[in-house]
Chain A
Amino acid sequence: MNSSVEHLSPTTSSARFSLPSKSTAGPKPNIYERNLNKTRVAEVSAASLSFLFSEVVQYTQKRVSGVNDLERRLNTLGYRVGTRVLELTAYRAESSLKAPKREIRLLPALMAIHTQIWRAVYGRPADAIEKSVENVDEYMIIDNDPLIERHISVPRDLSGLSCSSFSAGIVEAVLDGLGFPARVTAHHTPTSTHPTRTTILIKLEKSVLDREDVLK
């Protein structure tokens, strides 16, 4: 028997685990009273987010029948997040930018989702934005390694499920809020270098395209 307990016990090796730093003196401010513009120290650890999202998926899965229903529910949950994210980013832009503006054209709006929204939610911009060759009303936002799906492996009997439907819901809410109604879905499109690559497919309503034509 070996007596090197220090080596094997996870509790004693502090370097491997990130522990929350000791809070400074005084009670912590209520979450509702915190400054909304302080983003640097308000970050959440990726592991906490993964555990939370894992619970979200498990909770949702218990209440649905089938992959489509699960994706729809995740989309709805994402939509609720998205409406708030849009409001928050608009508020932050208001106070940080000299000339904050509301996107009224489609491409700048998509770029804002790709860059600002993605950075606000996932900490980094998405990897690509593409226009469909076959359909004029379809656009795609591509994430090579979605943060929420990093540790998820979908079992065979649920093949075709993309948990990024949650992100799709966020995108749908932001587009809706900006006045670009669309149907947004998520699809798993792996490549050899990026096994969790995901495409967020945006199918715009006809009214949006008609308006774009007028504005041209």
Chain B
Amino acid sequence: MTLTLITRRTRTLSEIFTWWTSSLQFIFMAIFGLWVINKAGGLVYQRSFADGLAQLTSNEYLVLAGTLHGIHAITSRLSPIPGQSSGAQVIEGETFKISVLLTLTGTKFILLTSPAEPASSIDVLLQKIYTTYAEKVMQNPFHTPEMPIRSEAFDDWIHIITLSLRS
């Protein structure tokens, strides 16, 4: 009788511990959001993954994306050798990190994460998102290039990809 009570208690304790560590990990490593910016600087896809982020209106997202596009255009000219810079790839703050994947066609994939997220896993994730974009968006006859992305298949795949990284 006493024995079962003890085991039950230890199990609960260990459960609490795993919950605590996992929640801690969630605080330190998290993906906040994904943006896709077309070559003209327009935001064609925006999605938030974490709860508790400040709610912005779609117009504010558009302004932010346009600003980032401008910053990227400036940084791509900041190079001792003209035409050699790829532009900003990572912008880091105390509470966030912005990673940019610039494709050959000028489309930009922006991943907003916590600073603790390792660069290697971000790169892998961005490449996976780019591959998914090439398949689910560009091979969809109902998508117009440079226009907002409305594809359920793309949404579903982004969800699956980001889940695989978070777990």
Tell me if B88 is interfacial: C-beta within 8 Å of chain A. Answer: yes
The count of residues in chain A whose C-beta lies closer than 8 Å to any C-beta of chain B is: 29
Residues of B within 8 A of A57 (CB): 141-142
Q: Judge whether B142 and A158 touch: CB under 8 Å.
A: yes
Asked whether B89 is an interface residue with its Cβ less than 8 Å from the other chain, the reply is: yes
Once A2-B89, A151-B153, A155-B150 are accepted as A-B contacts, the answer to whether A54 and B141 lie under 8 Å apart by CB is yes
Given A1, A7, A154, which contacts B142 in the complex, CB threshold below 8 Å?
A154
> In the bound complex, how far is the Cα of B89 from the Cα of A96, in angstroms?
56
Please report the C-alpha to C-alpha distance between residue A3 and residue B140 in the assembled complex, in whole angstroms. Answer: 34
**A7-B123, A8-B126 given as contacts; is B141 within 8 A of A1 (CB)?**
no
A-contact 0/1 string along B108-144, CB 8 Å cutoff: 0000000000010001001100110011101111100
Contacts of B104 in A (CB 8 A): 10-11
State the CA gap A200–B3 with chains docked (Å): 63
**Which of B102, B119, B123, B152 has a CB less than 8 Å from the CB of A153?**
B152
Q: A1-B75, A16-B131, A153-B136 are in contact. Are A8 and B142 (CB under 8 A)?
A: no
CB of A215 within 8 A of chain B? no
- Interface code B139-164, partner A: CB below 8 Å = 1, 0 otherwise? 11110000000111110000000000
Chain A residues within an 8 Å CB radius of B90: 1-2
Is B10 on the interface with A (CB-CB < 8 A)? no
Asked if A21 is an interface residue, CB under 8 A from chain B, the answer is: no
Q: Is the CB of B140 within 8 A of A152?
A: yes
Does B135 lie within 8 Å of A55, measured CB to CB?
no
Establish whether residues B101 and A153, one from each chain, have CB atoms under 8 Å apart when the complex forms.
Answer: no
In the complex, chain B residues whose CB is within 8 Å of the CB of A3: 89
Question: Can you give 6 A-B contacts (C-beta < 8 A)?
Answer: A2-B89, A4-B123, A50-B135, A51-B139, A151-B139, A151-B140
Question: Measuring CB to CB, which residues of chain B are less than 8 angstroms from any residue of chain A?
Answer: 75, 86, 88-90, 101-104, 119, 123, 126-127, 130-131, 134-136, 138-142, 150-154
Given contacts A8-B123, A51-B139, A153-B152, 8 further A-B contacts (CB under 8 A): A2-B90, A50-B139, A57-B142, A151-B135, A151-B140, A152-B139, A152-B142, A158-B142
